[in-house]
Amino acid sequence: MLTVENIHKTYATADGPFAVLRGISLGLSAGETLALTGESGSGKSTLLHIIGGLDTADQGRVLLDDTDIAALDDDGRAAIRRGSIGVVFQQFNLIPSLKIVDNIAFQARLAGRYDPAWAATLAERMGLTSQLNKYPEQLSGGQQQRVAIARTLAPKPRLVLADEPTGNLDEETAAIVMDLILELIRETQAGLLMVTHSQALAARMQRRVHLRAGQIA
Amino acid sequence: MTRATLHALLSHWWRSPLQLFTLLAGLALATALWSGVQAVNAEARASYRAASTTLGEGSYDRLARRDGQPIDLTTYVALRRAGWLVSPVITGRMNDVRIIGVEPLTAPGSMGVAEMAQGADIAGFIAGQGQLFGSADVAARLPDFDVIISENAAPNTAVTDIAVAQRILGRPDEIDSLVVAPVQPIRQDDLAQVAPDLIRQRAQQTTDTAQLTDSFHLNLTAFGLLSFAVGIFIVNGAIGLAFEQRRPVIRTLRALGVPLRRLMLLMAAELMIFAVIAGALGVLLGYMIAALLLPDVAATLRGLYGADVSGTLQLRPSWWASGLAIALGGTAVAATGALWKLAKMPLLAAAQKRALAMAAGRRAAAQAMIATLLLTVCVILCVTAQGLIAGFALLACLLIGAALALPFILDRALAFASRGARSVVTQWFWADTRQQLPGLSLALMALLLAMAANVGVSTMVSSFRTTFTGFLEQRLTSELYVDTADPAQATAFVAYATPLVDAVLPIMFSQTTIADQPTEIYGTRDHATYRDNWQMLSAAPDLWDTTFAGETILLNEQLARRGGLSVGDYVTVQGREMAIAGIYGDYGNPIGQAIIAEALFKEMYPEITPDRFGLRIAPERVPDFIAVLSAQTDISAAQTINQAGIKALSLAIFERTFTVTTALNILTLAVAGFAILMSLLTLAAMRVPQLAPAWAMGMTRAQLGRLELLRAVLLAMLTAVVALPLGLALAWALLSVVNVAAFGWKLPMYLFPMDYARLGVFALLAAALAALWPARRLARTPPADLLKVFSNER
């Protein structure tokens, strides 16, 4: 489903060019889960952003099924983001002015695939049914992250990308959230690629790729 | 997708009504300020255009009876038979409406009967079927008459056929005056023979008042430009903050798959909808402002024209169009920059709430460079600007350049002040104030422009007033002016008056050409009236001695400027070379003027005999003298002009001008104060993370609130310090460049330190009032909100 081929990315810094990714290649099948680990600055988040169409590579291809994401323009990458890929951010990135019910439905509506029954199921599974008419600021961090996950899964994306999804949560809440993500991923048969520093979380994934200095170790 | 995105964008305003209010209020106030000033201008112009086209008042000579009684029909008929092209007029009042009866077939064309009757039954009017032409207001006041509503009608005035007017007013066969057509047959009998009891009243010498009116409008137009600049800064600030606050949401929307182009289009559409709503509110608000100001303007123009000018306002379609155009245009200008930043904003940059401050460093450098460039252009224009467009370009460069330079100047001033800080709180205060500058800079720019406009326009108007008061003293020194009908009457009058008054000063002039410029040349009698009162802009020694000796000539400023002449140069008058001994200010006169000695004038123009005279007489004797003159000679009171009346009228005009400009000054300052309030309120949420550490380390919330208030007052004070020289530069540009370009004469500039001090106090008060509420809110921020700053889950 996902094929990443020879991705290179270099940033200009005050000290000169810095190669953050140097020829990364990997693959992911439907329903498969993959942990991306590595030290800070090893290029994990950059790779995730390039796969998600949030950033562009200097060289290489990112194939989602037969579509080369790296070759798309801004509109094309936006279409892939709203239709085929779901991203769970560490900072939740909910829309503060929308109610929880609207936040959950938001990406599905953008993709034109809003299914109220599925959205309600997600809300129930995430334990958000009583919170639907509240605003994000009225929820705890764990609840907000659950809203973000529900929002990501509402359009039933082919690929879920998660960037430290439990990084802002306490251990107990993090475990609950992670259980939910894995459970729903199994049901929807989406691929999951998760960036994490946590060895415990990485151990729960089917596969694990470790990055060091922009290369797969 | 569009619907969901729009829902997300609009939900921000629903959840943040205060921000929506500040955005709409900013746009509405900017539009109101602009459209209010324009409305006053447009209505005033429309009023006296209607007055002049309808009535042609003052633009024709008139014949009237010496004793002020009505003219009988036989005299009119006799004049027509003798070849006089005259048209009868009768006036009177009914239900507080001025009724004017004219004879449509003989009335001069520009008296406007045809214009008024556009689209109406002119045949019926001519046939005397009882139709009246007037405004809707007049129709309401004359319900029993067939009033045809005309947009071109003067306020409070109905025009009709003379026969109808005579019937309505109950004065059959009576005529008040006869309007003399400007072109008369070459051969016609002498007036004294045909109608000895009639005198010819000359058309009003309207050039002076027309020029004053134009100056008045130039003031208002300049103020309109300034208010527009203030408004643009307010709009820019409001829109910039609106974008800044939604920056994280915009990033989220893009990350979730909303294409950038669609997002920009939706945000632009959203802003344009707001601009239309706020523009409409602004036009209505501007209308209310104009309605409050217009009675004073109307009174001014009534004084100028002696005609009824509407003190009420019509909501004209053109205002809607121009007001909305300003709101949409201002929004488009302000939004272009914000949308450009949005397009360039990296999708993955950290969503930080104080990105404003981070980006401000780069922006400040660019702003300082643009400011330097504009101020350099301004200096070049100061030396080279000629013409109205260059004058206004100078004003624009000066104002925008200074406004853009303000953040840099304030930052440097604060950096300098921080060096002297000893205590830790003081050090933090200065550092925090510097950090606040980017967020407040647009509001402070608006305050700068508002204060500069105040200083500039007040200085200009006060300088006008001071100059004109002096000028009136100089030009209207004689206590009484007498206009004689013919040479015989003039001779008799001089013989009669000379023993009774201190001096009889003849006023005689001719048209000539000096230095290729059309000029009125006056022959002046050697008298202390001139030597003591006339102020020269530049003069040679003994100018009066040499001029009254017939050796030199004096020129007005307009002639000197247009001819490129200065004192000591020579000009040729009637074939005689004469040195220029002095150049005098001649405010309000559009054409060239020159003064030579009376004897020399008589030598050059022997055919001209004086028919106007200035009389020097004790002011308290004037009324008695007029009464005796009317009783003992054939000169009527209508032929005399009491100088005190003219001066009082002229000064009243300036008082009215003052009232209007003062009101606008206060309004502009209030709007700038509101801009500060809006900025402080919208920044309040961003302030919490900055102030929470200070609170956690031991400062009380009350202390933080007081420091917020102090900060606003301090920034306003520093802005005032910059605004004073800017305002004075603005006044100089208006008086020395724009006025010269518009009218050909330069007004001396006077300084009014007390006015500036008062303005400074008002500005500080406005800033303090604006900061009071946000500071109070801050002082009452619940500790829980401050604690959230330190929470991971925030």
Write out chain B residues lying below 8 Å of A135, CB-based: 15
- Find where tokens 């007033």 sit: B465
Q: DSSP characters for B448-492?
A: HHHHHHHHHHHHHHHHHHHHHHHHHHHHT-SSEEEE-SSHHHHHH
**Chain A contact for B3, CB < 8 A?**
yes
* Confidence grade of residue A120 (pLDDT, cut at 50, 70, 90): very high
Residue of A110, A145, A158 best to disrupt the B interface, most CBs of B under 10 A: A110
Using the structure block, give the residue that is written with the tokens 């003027």.
B593
Question: Binning pLDDT at 50, 70 and 90, where does residue B287 land?
Answer: confident
Average pLDDT over residues B712-722: 89
Amino acid at B426: T
Residue A91 with chain B: CB contacts under 8 Å: 351
Q: How far is CA B188 from CA B86, B203, B334, B611, in A?
A: 12, 20, 68, 22
Q: Which residue from B545, B594, B542, B539 is spatially nearest to B568, judged by alpha carbons?
A: B539
Say yes or no: B258 contacts chain A, CB-CB below 8 A: yes
Q: Which residue has the higher pLDDT, B136 or A101?
A: A101
B residues 337..356 contacting A (CB < 8 A): 347-348, 351
Q: Please, are residues A11 and A20 in contact by the beta-carbon 8 Å criterion?
A: yes
Q: What is the rounded distance in angstroms from the CA atom of residue B519 to the CA atom of residue B521? A: 6
Residue indicated by tokens 């922006």: B363
Contact B348 A54 (CB under 8 A): yes
pLDDT range class, residue B207, cuts 50, 70, 90: very low
Of the candidates B258, B438, B492, B141, the one whose C-alpha atom is nearest the C-alpha of residue A79 is B258
Closest residue of chain A to B14, computed from CA coordinates: A97
H or E element in which residue A177 lies: helix A171-188
Annotate B405-455 with DSSP letters as a single string.
HHHHHHHHHHHHHHHT--SHHHHHHHHHHHHHHHHHHHHHHHHHHHHHHHH
On chain A, the residues whose CB falls within 8 A of the CB of B4 are 106, 109-110
Closest-CA residue of chain B to A142: B793
User: Chain A partners of B348 at a C-beta cutoff of 8 Å?
Assistant: 49, 54-55
CATH no. for residue A147? 3.40.50.300
Kindly state whether residue A201 falls inside one of the protein's structural domains.
yes
Which residue do the tokens 């700068």 mark? B448
CA B386, chain centre distance (Å) = 21
Contacts of B255 in chain A (CB under 8 A): 54, 81, 87, 89, 93
Q: What single-letter amino acid sits at B99?
A: I
CA distance B520 to B239: 57
Average pLDDT over residues A151-165: 90
Give the lowest-confidence range in A188-197, B13-22, B250-259, B621-630: B13-22
Instruction: Give which of B6, B246, B252 to mutate to test A binding, by max A Cβ within 10 Å.
Output: B252
Give me the pLDDT at residue B582, please: 94
CB-based burial label for A38 (10 Å; 0-12, 13-18, 19+): buried
Q: Which of B261, B348, B793 sits opposite A49 (nearest CB)?
A: B348
Residue B506: closest CA among B597, B617, B610 = B610
Q: Give the three-class secondary structure for B608.
A: coil
* B669/chain A closest Cα distance in angstroms: 34
Lowest mean pLDDT among A57-61, B547-551, B784-788: B784-788
Chain B hits for A109, CB-CB cut-off 8 Å, are: 1, 3-4
pLDDT value of position B377: 92
- Number of helices (H) and strands (E), helices first, in chain A? 7, 10
What is the three-state SS of B172-221?
Answer: CCCECEEEECCCCCCCCCCHHHHCCCEEEECCCCCHHHHHHHHHHHHHHH
Min distance A53 CA to chain B CA atoms (Å): 9
Contacts of B561 (CB under 8 A, 6+ apart): B740, B744, B745
A177 in any annotated domain = yes
Q: Which of B169-173, B376-380, B636-640 has the lowest mean pLDDT?
A: B636-640
Measure CB to CB from residue A98 to each of B11, B255, B258 and give the nearest one: B11
- Chain centroid to CA A160: 5
A59 CB near a chain B CB, below 8 Å?
Answer: no
The percentage of residues in chain B with a pLDDT greater than 70, rounded to a whole number, is: 81
Which two tokens mark A176? 């609950």
3-state DSSP assignment of residue B323: helix
- In the structure encoding, which two tokens stand for residue B120, read together? 């109406």
The string of pLDDT tens digits covering residues B302-343 is 554 444 445 555 666 777 787 888 888 888 887 888 888 778
- Nearest CB to B256: which of A74, A82, A135? A82
* B154 — pLDDT class (breaks 50, 70, 90): low
Examine the pLDDT at B216 and tell me if it is beyond 80: no
The closest of B187, B211, B197, B237 to B85, measured between CA atoms, is B187
Chain A: give the shortest CA distance to residue B672, in Å: 30
Average pLDDT on B657-680 reads 71
Considering only CB atoms, which chain A residues are within 8 Å of B8? 95, 97-98, 102, 106
Mean pLDDT estimate for chain A:
88
Contact between B255 and A54 using a beta-carbon 8 Å cutoff: yes
More confident residue, B651 or B102: B102
User: CA A60 → CA A42, A50, A79, B249, B267, distances in Å?
Assistant: 18, 10, 20, 31, 35
- φ, ψ of residue B370 to 5 degrees: the values are -65, -40
Q: Kindly provide the ipTM of the predicted complex, given to two decimals.
A: 0.83
Average pLDDT over residues B488-504: 89
**Has residue A128 been placed in a domain?**
yes
Interface residue B784 vs chain A (CB under 8 A): no
CA–CA gap between residue A202 and residue B531 (Å, rounded):
104
Residue B502 to residue B508: CA distance in whole angstroms: 19
Q: Does residue A146 fall inside a structural domain?
A: yes
Average pLDDT, chain B: 79
Span B50-104, pLDDT tens digits: 555 444 555 677 787 766 678 888 888 888 888 888 888 888 888 778 788 888 7
Residue B345: per-residue pLDDT: 74
Confidence of residue B705 (pLDDT cuts 50, 70, 90): confident
Owning domain of residue A185: 31-39+72-216
Residue of B nearest to A90 (CA): B793
The 10s digit of each residue's pLDDT in B399-447 is: 889 999 998 999 899 989 888 878 778 888 888 888 888 778 877 888 8
Confidence of residue B353 (pLDDT cuts 50, 70, 90): very low
A82 touches chain B (CB under 8 A): yes
Determine the 3-state secondary structure of B78 from DSSP.
helix
More confident residue, B674 or A52: A52
Cα A188 → chain centroid: 15
Judged by a CB distance cut-off of 8 A, whether residue B248 touches chain A is yes
Of B259, B260, B348, the CB nearest to A55: B348
Residue A10 is assigned to a structural domain of this protein: no
Residues of A in contact with B688 (CB under 8 A): none
CB contact under 8 A, B16 and A83: no
Alpha-carbon dihedral B605, B607, B611, B614, rounded to 10 degrees: 30
- Pair of tokens at residue B648: 């009082």
Q: Which of B340-354, B657-671, B771-785 has the highest mean pLDDT?
A: B771-785
d(CA A150, nearest CA chain B) in Å: 13
Strands A16-28 and A159-163, bridge-based pairing: unpaired
Q: How many CB pairs under 8 A join A and B?
A: 83
Which of A84-93, A114-123, A159-168, B336-345 is most confident? A114-123
Task: Please indicate whether, in this complex, the C-beta atoms of B3 and A141 are within 8 angstroms of each other.
Answer: no
Residue B470 has pLDDT above 80, yes or no: no
Q: Is residue A11 part of a domain?
A: no
Q: Report how far apart, in Å, the C-alpha atoms of A153 and of each of A53, A69, A121, A130, A148 are.
A: 18, 20, 11, 19, 9
For residue B56, the Cα-to-chain-centroid distance in whole angstroms is 25
Whether A110 contacts chain B with CB within 8 A: yes
Please name the helix (run of DSSP H) or strand (run of DSSP E) that holds residue B579, with its range, or none.
strand B576-584
| Per-residue pLDDT at B205 | 41
Average pLDDT over residues B535-548: 90
Contact B259 A89 (CB under 8 A): no
Band (B204; pLDDT cuts 50, 70, 90):
very low
In chain B, the residue whose alpha carbon lies closest to the alpha carbon of A74 is B259
* Residue pair A159/A28 in contact by the 8 Å Cβ criterion: yes
Q: Which residues in A lie closer than 8 A to residue B3 (C-beta atoms)?
A: 109
∠ CA B198-B58-B160, rounded to 5°: 85
Torsion of CA B104, B105, B110, B114, to 10 degrees: 60
How many domains does the structure of chain A reveal?
Answer: 1
State how far the alpha carbon of B741 is from the alpha carbons of B93, B384, B444, B529, B562, in Å: 43, 12, 32, 32, 11
Instruction: Look at B46 and B585; give whichever has higher pLDDT.
Output: B585
In this predicted structure, the answer to whether residue B794 has a pLDDT above a threshold of 70 is no
Cβ–Cβ below 8 Å for A97 and B348: no
Nearest chain B residue to A78 by CA distance is B257
Q: Cα(B519)–Cα(B740) distance, rounded to whole angstroms?
A: 18
Selecting from B251, B258, B348 the residue whose C-beta is nearest the C-beta of A110 gives B258
| Cα B233 from Cα B445, distance rounded (Å) | 7
- Residue A106 forms contact with B (CB below 8 Å): yes
Residues whose CB is less than 8 angstroms from the CB of residue B426 and which lie 6 or more positions away in sequence, other chains included: none
Place of tokens 């059959």: B172
Q: Identify the pLDDT of residue B567.
A: 93
Indicate which of A49, A95, A146 best probes the interface with B, i.e. most B CBs within 10 Å of its own CB: A95
